Amino acid sequence: MQATNHTAAHGGGHEAHHHEPGFMQKYIFTTDHKMIGIQYGLTALIFLLFGFCLMLCMRWQIAHPGHPIPLVGSLLEKVLGDVAKDGKMSPDLYNSFGAMHGTIMVFLAIVPLAFGAFGNYVVPLQIGAPDMAFPRVNMASYQFYFLGGIIMFISFFIPGGAAQAGWTSYSPLATSIPTHGQAFWLIGMVFLISSSLLGAVNFIATIIQLRAPGMTWMRLPFFVWAQFVTGFLLLLAFPPLEAASVMQLMDNLFGTSFFLPTGLAVGGRLADISGGGSPLLWQHLFWFLGHPEVYVLILPGMGIVCEIIANNTRKTIWGYKSLVFSVLAIGFLSFIVWAHHMYLTGMGTKISAFFQTTTMIISIPSVILLTCFFISLWGGSIRFNTPMLFALAFLPMFGIGGLTGLPLGFNASDIYLHDSYYVIGHFHYVVAPGTIFGLMAGIYFWFPKMTGRYMNETLGKIHFWFSLLGMNLVFAPMFIQGLKGMSRRMADGGTTYFGADDIAIKLNTSITHAAVLLGLAQLPFIVNLFLSIRNGRKVESDNPWQATTLDWATPTPPPHGNFATEPIVYRGPYEYSSPGAARDFTPQGQKV
């Protein structure tokens, strides 16, 4: 507004009279998609670290139940009070930390990083747009996210602490715990969901409307396709959870019984409620979001990996069309598989059979995606830089995660595996060494575009190898624990359930050690990230990786408005090593 009045007053056309925005306008209340992306990214990384620290405390408790937590125990007692008496983790605190670990990792770390940060920064650049379609909505989306995060964070310090009913917040448990943590959780979720909705509308509209001339649908980089489908998943799957959150909030604060059955007893006494509600209804509404959500977690990572593989094999991606149609199929199918999380609720065999079938069908496009990436490696002269290492590791890690999902999808085997550590192993393989590796790859890959400097390769490789080791040492043993029948969500790590000499219990200790190793492995990354902003090796050109997509055709770092001249697209996204071309890559904007 201000800027337009300003130029108008000076008769317009005065390009030289540039209005330098102040600090607040440039960094806090910015509408520039790149700065919003960076805001999202930094906030999400902080939450990622925070969520990890919660888990480290829990891992200590699992390995050494009832012993004071080293280093932070006394601090926890000071800020949280009785739940951390003598620096020990009470079961209530364990439940809070567990619920918030899941919530923070999914809704405050991975989704904002994968969709909010990378989507914001990269999508407009890759489609050749000057910004998002609705820059101010974009800003609002970040602010809602930030507020939601604050509400979640504050809930740790209220009497009784944060929510304790798991990230799935099943009723009636979530309503029966007599503290206000759950109410904070639900209000926080309403903000986070609204943020995602605003983001999703914006992304989809941007991709539909703001593609540069010549950027036809089949010339879109796969990353953009992945974000496009992710946008639809968020758009359509989140609202039912918003509705469910409102209903659970009513149960919590206004005494309704949406999800509370008749005759519910809490603490040995009949609850003072009208009853007649349905706990299953919550589970349906939750998982209707929950399953599409897992694809929200994975698809952006896949998109990043695809870009990096094409770039570092110097080959075109094998089966671009199959990738596109598979990702669309996944998007569609992910809306009709949700109840495979509910086989044990007694929905009935017919319904279980239906969801088992759709679950098996959806694994086909997932396998196609992975296969295309593997085949793309074949015969390439691969550059093993840090982004590529992370991208390569993504493939087998996601493979393990996906394949271990199949026994969970069959309801006969799921009856045994459900709610065991096996499930924890399964989805962490997908999201931790899977998605997080994809996101790390993306950070190393686009850092030069954001700052004009590379991140340090040596530190990057240390980060990579120790993370790979740590991730596997943490999550692989969980399959063994789960197969041995160990339940998840046990505040004492299952000692009350098992003979204490059982191998599964011993693995608890080794997993905890591995988790510490994994934590330490992130230190080189943190150092690298901040030091490289000023001290990293300077890039030689605007296109340091010699990539083909439009994001590399911008000045470094891209200015407000992104492109020096309006880009025009002449070719597909991955023309590497085309026969007869002068160089081994032909950018999308290059005419001949």
Partner 1 sequence: MEIPYTYKARPDTGLYNAKVGIWLFLASEIMLFGALFSSYILLRVQAPDGVWPEMRLGWPHGLLNIPIGTFNTVVLISSSVTVVMAWASLKMGKIAAFRRYMILTLMCAFGFLGVKSYDYNEKFTHYELRLKNGEVHTGHLEVNGKHPGFWSFADIWNLDRLTKEKVAEVQFTADPPKPKAGEAHAAEAGHEHVAKAIKRDEISRLEAFIPRNHNFFAIYFTITALHGLHVFVGALVMAYFAFPGSRMWRTNPEQFTNRIEVVGLFWHFVDLVWIFLFPVVYLL
Residue closer to partner 1, measured from CB, 137 or 476: 137
Selected from 257, 366, 554, 586, the binder of ligand HEM by CB under 6 A is 366
> Who contacts 121 (Cβ-Cβ below 8 Å, separation ≥6)?
33, 34, 37, 38, 41, 446, 450
Write the secondary structure of 18-40 as one string of H (helix), E (strand) and C (coil).
CCCCCHHHHHHCCCCHHHHHHHH
Cis ω before 159 (30° cut-off from 0):
no
Rounded Cα distance between 238 and 228, Å, is: 15
Site string for partner 1, 171-200 (x = CB under 8 A): --------------------------x--x
Q: Alpha carbon of 505 to those of 483, 489, 508, 519: distances in Å?
A: 13, 14, 5, 22
Residue closer to ligand HEM, measured from CB, 110 or 151: 110
Selected from 246, 351, 367, 568, the binder of partner 1 by CB under 8 A is 246
385: left (phi over 0), alpha (psi -120 to 50) or beta: beta
User: 203-215 b/e with 16+ CB inside 10 Å = b?
Assistant: bbebbeebbbeeb
Residue closer to ligand HEM, measured from CB, 433 or 567: 433
Selected from 234, 395, 431, 459, the binder of ligand HEM by CB under 6 A is 431
Rounded Cα distance between 298 and 300, Å, is: 6
Nearest approach, Cβ of residue 15 and partner 1 (Å): 11
265: left (phi over 0), alpha (psi -120 to 50) or beta: beta
> Who contacts 559 (Cβ-Cβ below 8 Å, separation ≥6)?
none
The length of the chain, given as a count of residues: 592
Q: Which two tokens stand for residue 229?
A: 């489908």
**Could you report how far apart the first and last alpha carbons of the chain are, in Å?**
41
Which residues within the stretch 279-298 sit at the binding site for ligand HEM (CB under 6 A)? Answer: 294, 297-298
Selected from 69, 139, 273, 423, the binder of partner 1 by CB under 8 A is 273
Residue closer to ligand HEM, measured from CB, 108 or 423: 423
Q: Which two tokens stand for residue 501?
A: 């000499």
Rounded Cα distance between 478 and 484, Å, is: 10
User: What does 496 interact with, of Cu ion, partner 1, ligand HEM, none (CB < 5 to 8 A by kind)?
Assistant: none
Rounded to 5 degrees, what angle do the CA atoms 586, 120, 286 make? 125
Q: Which two tokens stand for residue 22?
A: 């102040």
Binding piece for Cu ion, criterion CB under 5 A, among 4-12, 123-131, 287-295, 414-422: 287-295
Residue closer to partner 1, measured from CB, 134 or 570: 134
Selected from 72, 210, 403, 469, the binder of partner 1 by CB under 8 A is 210
Query: Tell me, what DSSP letter sits at residue 500?
Result: T
Nearest approach, Cβ of residue 343 and partner 1 (Å): 19
Binding piece for partner 1, criterion CB under 8 A, among 39-47, 175-183, 208-216, 516-524: 208-216
DSSP 363-391: HHHHHHHHHHHHHHHTT------HHHHHH
Decide if residue 237 touches partner 1 (CB under 8 A): yes
Number of residues in contact with Cu ion under rule CB under 5 A: 1
Nearest approach, Cβ of residue 241 and ligand HEM (Å): 14
Residue closer to Cu ion, measured from CB, 308 or 333: 333
User: What does 104 interact with, of Cu ion, partner 1, ligand HEM, none (CB < 5 to 8 A by kind)?
Assistant: none
> Who contacts 484 (Cβ-Cβ below 8 Å, separation ≥6)?
502, 503, 504
Rounded Cα distance between 589 and 420, Å, is: 51
Selected from 530, 561, 564, 581, the binder of partner 1 by CB under 8 A is 561
Selected from 315, 418, 449, 453, the binder of ligand HEM by CB under 6 A is 418
Decide if residue 44 touches ligand HEM (CB under 6 A): no
Which residues within the stretch 279-318 sit at the binding site for partner 1 (CB under 8 A)? Answer: 281, 285, 288
Helix axes 279-313, 349-377, angle to 10 degrees: 10
Decide if residue 301 touches ligand HEM (CB under 6 A): no
Site string for ligand HEM, 165-204 (x = CB under 6 A): ---x------------------------------------
Residue closer to ligand HEM, measured from CB, 84 or 424: 424
Site string for partner 1, 118-147 (x = CB under 8 A): -----------xxxxxxx-x----------
Rounded Cα distance between 420 and 361, Å, is: 24
**Do the beta carbons of residue 206 and residue 162 sit within 8 Å?**
no
Task: Return residues touching ligand HEM (CB under 6 A).
Answer: 168, 294, 297-298, 340-341, 359, 363, 366, 402, 405-406, 408-409, 414, 417-418, 423, 426-427, 430-431
Task: Return residues touching Cu ion (CB under 5 A).
Answer: 291
Task: Return residues touching partner 1 (CB under 8 A).
Answer: 129-135, 137, 197, 200-202, 204-205, 208-210, 235-240, 242-244, 246-247, 250, 254-258, 262, 273-278, 281, 285, 288, 560-561
